[in-house]
Every structure is written in structure tokens, then in C-alpha cells.
Amino acid sequence: MPHVALIVPGDVETRTGGYIYDKRMAEGLRAHGWTVDIRQPDLAALGDGTIALVDGLALLALGDTVARHARRLRIVLLIHLPLSLEVGLGPAEAARRDALERRAMPCARMAIATGRSTADLLAARGARVALVEPGTDPAPVARGSIGDGVALVSVAALTIGKGHEALLTALAAVPSRGWSLTCAGSVDRDPATAARTRSTAETLGLGGRVTFAGELDDRTLAALYDRSDAFVCASLRETYGMAIAEAIARALPVVTTDVGAARQIVGAGGIVVRPDAPSEFVDALTRVITDPDLRARLRDGAGTARERLTTWEQASRTMADALAAVETDG
């Protein structure tokens, strides 16, 4: 039975896109006949010849120890987003992370990218790359809200890269007040941004129409999607866009910035605007909020787009095939 050690930087139960991906891949690989050990960053504890699937964020803890174990281990780097591209880094820290990742890359038998843009970047650096995008669970079509207003939902931790302040600023500029917004996502990972986002909502006079629900379990989140009329996202950077795909899986109309695989995921099910074009975002939100016929057309488009989403079973099969190639290499 093939074996892989999945090296993660922290608790795999943490509800972020990266950890959810790691956990679902571990489950999927097991279903495809692999044994998977989930471990904290410590390559010295692994036996010779082990395939070590190293989440890119774990490199921050492993540092240059990767090079010391490269000959005896079969290292595969799992890159969600290049370390230097995390939103909010200063130039010195971005340069340090970039150098660390570049030193680790030649030590790897393969790099697995979870998004097309990351795969292209790694390939340009000369890496052997496999693209393994996230899967999405099939879900029932959202029934929508009951009432006169348009219920908007956004699913992302309140961190600097997710663009909540830009979203609130755009919503404040929408002429119609016939909407409400529920933001689901952790308020604890970036307390400064969370506090600033809450303050922005109050300053803009949106306190009565914006709810910060915090991190929700799967059942509660599914119920929130079900009673929503549209999904909105102002993220500054994504590798793929798992929350966008979750919304499309429920045939929700989407208004999102053009990040990660947003255009690929959304298809005719939403409006995709440039992240650096706030006026476009305001216009898109205004149209979706004020035009029920447009929402109906986008809902139909999302219904078509949801049929093209990759499942987690399919995604984990692609991962298993990539790792099998490394195992065959010896």
C-alpha cells in the first residue's frame, strides 16, 4: 500500500481553505488506497524513502532543513500560494519568504499547485508541476431569502487579503438600501483587521445591515447559503476560490473580484470585476441587488456552472496520480 506523510504547519482541523484542502486530500488519498500520516514540520522523524508532501506554509518552520533531507526523502511541495505573495507582507519579509521557497524548490521531486496561476509561476521557475485544484461538495440549490430585501453572503476569515473593507465601502455606495450582508468567517486570525472592518461598517452606517457571524460549522454554513440570494467576494488574491465554488454549487449568483480561478468557476453565473476597479464593483453590486431579472439569469448560469465543478473524489484521484508518479520514480 503506497504511503505519504503530509506535513502541515498547524492543526489540520483549522477552517481555512488551505487546511480544508489538506484534510480533504488526506481523506481522498486514503479512499484511493494510500496510507496518509498527517505530521507537524519535522522531516528528521520520517523514514528513508518516504514521500513527504510538504504544505508550502510548513516551509516557514522547516527552513533550510528541507535541503538536508532531500536525498533520503522524496519531497513534494504542495503550494497553495507562493509564500511571498501573501497579502500584507512588507518587502523584506516577502523577499525572505521568496528566497526560502526558491531554495526548497530544487529539493523537491515535484511541486503540486492548487491553482493555475501558481502552477504557471512554478513552471516558469523550472519546477516539475502537477495542477491539483480543490474539489467541491455537491449541494442543493439555495432556496433564497424570504422577504423584500436581497440577502448577501460572504464567506472568508476577516483577514487583510479578503477585502472586507473594500466590500463594505462598495456596498455603502450602492444607491439601494434593500440588502443585508452576512459575513461568515473567523474574526480571530487577524484581530486588527477584524476590528477595523467592524469599525468601517459602523462608520459607513451599515451596522444595522451587516452581520459578522464568525466561523460557522458545516451545518450552520449550509443553512446560511440556503437562505441567501447572492454571494459576494472582494478578495485581493486567491489561488483558486473555494468559497466561490461553494456558492456556485448552490446555484447562487456571484459578484466577485477576478482572483484565482474565479472566471473559470463562475462562468455565466455571476459578474467578475477587476480587484483594482472599485467603481466596477459598485456597479456590479448595484445591478445584482436592484435587478431581480438579472439575478434570475445569473442563477440559471450558476446552475449550469455547478455541473462543471470538480468533486473532491476527482481532485483526490488527480493527487493520487501525481504522487504515484513520484513513487514510480523511486
Does 25 fall in a domain?
yes
Q: Name residue 302's amino acid.
A: A
The verdict on residue 44 lying in a domain is yes
Residue 144 is assigned to a structural domain of this protein: no
Take residue 291 and report the three cell numbers written for it. Answer: 435587478
Under 8 Å between Cβ of 114 and 24: no
Task: Say if residue 46 is in the same domain as residue 170.
Answer: no
d(CA 127, CA 75): 13
Name the nearest CA neighbour of 163 among 149, 177, 178, 183. Answer: 183
CATH of the domain at 10: 3.40.50.2000
Element (H, E) at 301: helix 292-305
Residues 220, 290: one domain?
Answer: yes
Could you give the number of structural domains in the chain? 2
* CA angle in degrees (0–180, nearest 5) for 103-16-318: 65
Specify if 202 maps to a domain.
Answer: yes
Residues 290 and 190 in one domain: yes
pLDDT (0 to 100) of residue 330: 62
Q: Does residue 31 sit in the same domain as residue 111?
A: yes
Structural domain that includes position 157: 150-308
The answer for residues whose C-beta is within 8 angstroms of residue 234's C-beta and 6 or more apart is 154, 162, 163, 164, 166, 167, 170, 256, 257, 275, 281
Res 201: pLDDT: 96
What pLDDT score was predicted for residue 281? Answer: 97
Nearest residue to 275 (alpha-carbon basis) of 315, 235, 230: 235
Q: Which pLDDT does position 1 carry in this prediction?
A: 83
Report the C-alpha gap between 223 and 225 in whole angstroms. Answer: 5
Task: Note down pLDDT in tens along the chain; length 330 residues.
Answer: 899 999 999 988 888 899 999 999 999 999 999 999 999 999 999 999 999 999 999 999 999 999 999 999 999 999 999 999 999 999 999 999 999 999 999 999 999 999 999 999 999 999 999 999 999 999 999 999 988 899 999 999 999 999 999 999 999 999 999 999 999 999 999 999 999 999 999 999 998 999 999 999 999 999 999 999 999 999 999 999 999 999 999 999 999 999 999 999 999 999 999 998 999 999 999 999 999 999 999 999 999 999 999 999 999 999 999 999 998 876
> What does the alpha-carbon distance between residue 121 and residue 116 come to, in Å, rounded to a whole number?
9
Which residues, at least 6 apart from 202, have a Cβ–Cβ distance to it below 8 Å?
A: none
Rounded to whole angstroms, the Cα distance separating 230 from 39 reads: 38
- Interaxial angle between packed helices 164-172 and 191-203, expressed in degrees from 0 to 180 and rounded to the nearest 10: 0
